[in-house]
Amino acid sequence: MKASHSVRICVPVCEQSLVAAERAIAKAAETGDLIEVRLDCLDPSQLGGTLRNGEHLFDQSPRPTILTFRPSEQGGRRKIDTKSRLLFWLFNRPTSAEFLDIELDLALNSSVFDYGEDVDWTRVICSHHNFVGVPGDLDRVFERMIQTPARILKIAFQANDITDCIAAFHLLDRARSEDREMIAIGMGTAGIVTRVLAPARGAFLTYGAQDNDSATAPGQITARELRTLYRIGRISRETRIMGIAGLPVTHSISPYIHNAAFEFAEFDGVYLPLEVREVSSFIKRMVHPRTREIDWHFLGLSVTAPHKTSVMSCLDWIDPAAKEIGAVNTIVVEDDELHGFNTDANAFASPLITRIGELHGARCAVIGAGGAASAAVWILRQKGAEVTVYARDTSRARQLAERFDATSKPLGSATFEGFDVVVNATPLGTSGAQETETPANATQLRGARLAYDLVYNPEETRFLSEAREAGCESIGGLEMLVTQATEQFRLWTGIVAPEAVMREAAVRALGHNV
């Protein structure tokens, strides 16, 4: 795929000392097209009483620079009163920066900034930040911005749900109609989609951190991820959009798997993490061809917890197997309809059959009662296995078991001696807040033949560790993940998936502790 627009990635530098800032600028130049130098991050003592001593930071930068002196209420690293900010911009600012990021409240102060004389407004980025959510007066903020002579406008707000990103995309369209350059960003993990797609929709730039420890705003991914994982320089308005919808999704390695497959197949598509809280609103406002509020080429979705069941009411057609399972993990846009499938079930069974052979008559315990558990129980019963469902919520376990003529028992102090397979179909053990948890310990697992964890990140989960201590064979979730992803790829593109490429990308991603 080939983009027809210019993509600029700006790498922010936010250091407390001049020496550290100099090093960071040199490093940022390796991945950034521009470098934002945050003078508000510097210890005041480093500037020797006059901020002009920061001039050499801009002189020695190998890339065009943006000068920022941000107060704490707008996301800066320290309190700076209005008078100090005004004095800085009028008399003390370094003069060699290519662009100046000036907050809206100062940009509107015409008594201080004599437009056209004190500031070259063609180099000004007029900015406004809201770290709570989409501003209730967003239209008013924009109207105030276009009252300034600034050539470039920037609005960044906290995206608390994926649908908040709609406002950012609309800002880009609106700025174009006003003949202004625009930077529109949804901060937070729900706003990642704006950071990746905004340049293709006309944004002046997007921000990418030098590394995971140097991000200067919530949800700011690295410049290297923008370039190599999402291939931002090759995304255009014609690029097909796919992604994983769930909460949370930042632990997912599916973007690595699918984007590697798109690149190998030379398919013009990008796969994104989509943090979704209200799935029905997301489907209506951003996905469904008949109701979505964004003009983009949406091709399909992976669906993960907690939306695999609730999303079904949003679809126009559901594959019979997915209906029986009661969970959808794949959505395909077909003309003006949404079609739902479940690629989990067969993908779950494949590595299990490879390992233990015939499943007919096998004694299987499935821990969990959500969408993943439903797929596992359904396919196990299809293969003739004897299944017992265990869950902390005994009523949900009983309901799931009754649907597929299985049995259920409370998880509590359950023991799994004598079972051929014990499946963890819960999120316990997933990278993040639940990483140290397990639905069963070694004592409970002792005497079982094989433990199968559907969690794939990290590769070595607490559940698998406990299983090995108990003497069980084990299967991790990676094989199931890759197998179901290959079927998703085929459903979306009509192309046979490059399975080896996808598996290699998954292993590489896990090796980097994504």
Q: For the segment 201-243, what is each residue's pLDDT rounded down to a tens digit?
A: 999 999 999 988 878 888 899 999 999 999 999 999 999 999 9
Task: For residue 487, tell me if it sits in a domain.
Answer: no
Quote the radius of gyration of the chain (alpha carbons, Å): 26
Looking at the structure, do residues 249 and 200 belong to the same domain, yes or no? no
Mean pLDDT of 181-197: 97
Q: Determine the Cα–Cα distance for residues 412 and 393; give it in Å rounded to an integer.
A: 10
317 neighbors 337 (Cβ within 8 angstroms): yes
Q: Is 409 one of the catalytic residues?
A: no
Task: For residue 307, tell me if it sits in a domain.
Answer: yes
C-alpha angle with apex 358: 355 to 363, nearest 5 degrees? 90
Mean pLDDT of 152-177: 97
Order the strands of the 206-207 sheet from edge to edge. 181-187, 152-158, 124-130, 99-103, 65-68, 34-38, 9-13, 206-207
Looking at the structure, do residues 66 and 40 belong to the same domain, yes or no? yes
* pLDDT tens by residue, 319-375: 999 999 999 999 999 999 999 999 999 999 999 999 999 999 999 999 999 999 999
Tokens of 241: 């959009």
How many domains in the chain?
Answer: 3
Q: Which residues contact 322 (CB under 8 A, 6 or more apart)?
A: 312, 328, 340, 341, 342
Nearest to 148 by CA among 115, 111, 112, 99: 115
**CA dihedral sign of residues 352, 356, 357, 361:** negative
pLDDT of 512 reads: 61
Task: For residue 435, tell me if it sits in a domain.
Answer: yes
Looking at the structure, do residues 135 and 281 belong to the same domain, yes or no? no
Query: DSSP label at 498?
Result: -
Alpha helical stretches, state H, 231-278 = 254-265
**Axis-axis angle for helices 499-511, 254-265 (nearest 10):** 140
pLDDT exceeds 80 at position 425: yes
* pLDDT tens by residue, 298-311: 999 999 989 999 99
From 236, 260, 290, the end of a domain falls on 236
Strands (E), 131-180: 152-158
- What does DSSP say about strands 337-341 and 330-334: parallel, antiparallel, or unpaired? antiparallel
Q: Which residues contact 213 (CB under 8 A, 6 or more apart)?
A: none
**Tokens 């705003």, located at residue:** 217
Q: Determine the Cα–Cα distance for residues 383 and 386; give it in Å rounded to an integer.
A: 9
Strands (E), 43-169: 65-68, 99-103, 124-130, 152-158
From 181, 204, 236, the end of a domain falls on 236
pLDDT exceeds 50 at position 148: yes
The CATH number covering residue 56 comes to 3.20.20.70
Looking at the structure, do residues 190 and 228 belong to the same domain, yes or no? yes
Q: Please give the helix or strand (H or E) that residue 143 lies within, else none.
A: helix 138-145
pLDDT of 58 reads: 83
Q: What is the pTM of this model?
A: 0.91
Looking at the structure, do residues 338 and 386 belong to the same domain, yes or no? no
From 185, 212, 236, the end of a domain falls on 236
pLDDT of 2 reads: 46
The CATH number covering residue 315 comes to 3.40.50.10860
Q: Which of 128, 154, 307, 339 is catalytic?
A: 154
Q: Which of 128, 251, 307, 308 is catalytic?
A: 308
Task: For residue 77, tell me if it sits in a domain.
Answer: yes
Q: Determine the Cα–Cα distance for residues 429 and 461; give it in Å rounded to an integer.
A: 6
DSSP 7-75: --EEEEE--SSHHHHHHHHHHHTTT-SEEEEEGGGS-GGGGTT-GGGGHHHHHT-SS-EEEE--BGGGT
* pLDDT tens by residue, 61-112: 899 999 999 999 988 888 988 888 888 887 777 788 999 999 999 988 765 5
Looking at the structure, do residues 126 and 263 belong to the same domain, yes or no? no
287 neighbors 336 (Cβ within 8 angstroms): no
pLDDT of 57 reads: 77
Q: Determine the Cα–Cα distance for residues 481 and 454; give it in Å rounded to an integer.
A: 8
**Tokens 């459903």, located at residue:** 491
Q: Which of 40, 161, 319, 344 is catalytic?
A: 344
Confidence at 117, pLDDT banded by 50, 70, 90: low
Confidence at 3, pLDDT banded by 50, 70, 90: very low
Confidence at 54, pLDDT banded by 50, 70, 90: low
| Mean residue pLDDT across the chain | 92
Mean pLDDT of 170-190: 96
Looking at the structure, do residues 424 and 395 belong to the same domain, yes or no? yes
C-alpha angle with apex 473: 472 to 477, nearest 5 degrees? 115
Task: For residue 4, tell me if it sits in a domain.
Answer: no
Q: Is 170 one of the catalytic residues?
A: no
Task: For residue 99, tell me if it sits in a domain.
Answer: yes
408 neighbors 390 (Cβ within 8 angstroms): yes
Q: Is 154 one of the catalytic residues?
A: yes
Q: Is 383 one of the catalytic residues?
A: no
pLDDT of 130 reads: 96
Looking at the structure, do residues 147 and 18 belong to the same domain, yes or no? yes
71 phi, psi to nearest 5 deg: -75, 160
Alpha helical stretches, state H, 221-343 = 223-224, 254-265, 279-282, 320-325
**Amino acid identity for residue 482 in this structure:** V
How many residues appear in the chain?
Answer: 514
The CATH number covering residue 358 comes to 3.40.50.720
Percent with pLDDT over 70 in the chain: 95
pLDDT of 4 reads: 43
* pLDDT tens by residue, 14-53: 999 888 999 999 999 999 999 999 999 988 777 654 455 5
Q: Which of 129, 258, 288, 307 is catalytic?
A: 129
- Answer with the residue of higher pLDDT: 424 or 56: 424
Looking at the structure, do residues 86 and 217 belong to the same domain, yes or no? yes
Longest distance between any two alpha carbons in the chain, whole Å: 85
Task: For residue 153, tell me if it sits in a domain.
Answer: yes
Residue 170 to residues 67, 155, 461: CA-CA distances in angstroms? Answer: 27, 12, 42
Looking at the structure, do residues 128 and 38 belong to the same domain, yes or no? yes
330 neighbors 303 (Cβ within 8 angstroms): yes
Mean pLDDT of 457-486: 95
pLDDT exceeds 80 at position 450: yes
End-to-end Cα, the chain, rounded Å: 26
pLDDT of 218 reads: 81
Q: Can you give the residue range of the structural domain that contains 226?
A: 9-236
Looking at the structure, do residues 130 and 263 belong to the same domain, yes or no? no
Looking at the structure, do residues 184 and 304 belong to the same domain, yes or no? no
pLDDT of 184 reads: 98
3-state secondary structure of 19: helix
Task: For residue 2, tell me if it sits in a domain.
Answer: no
Mean pLDDT of 245-265: 95
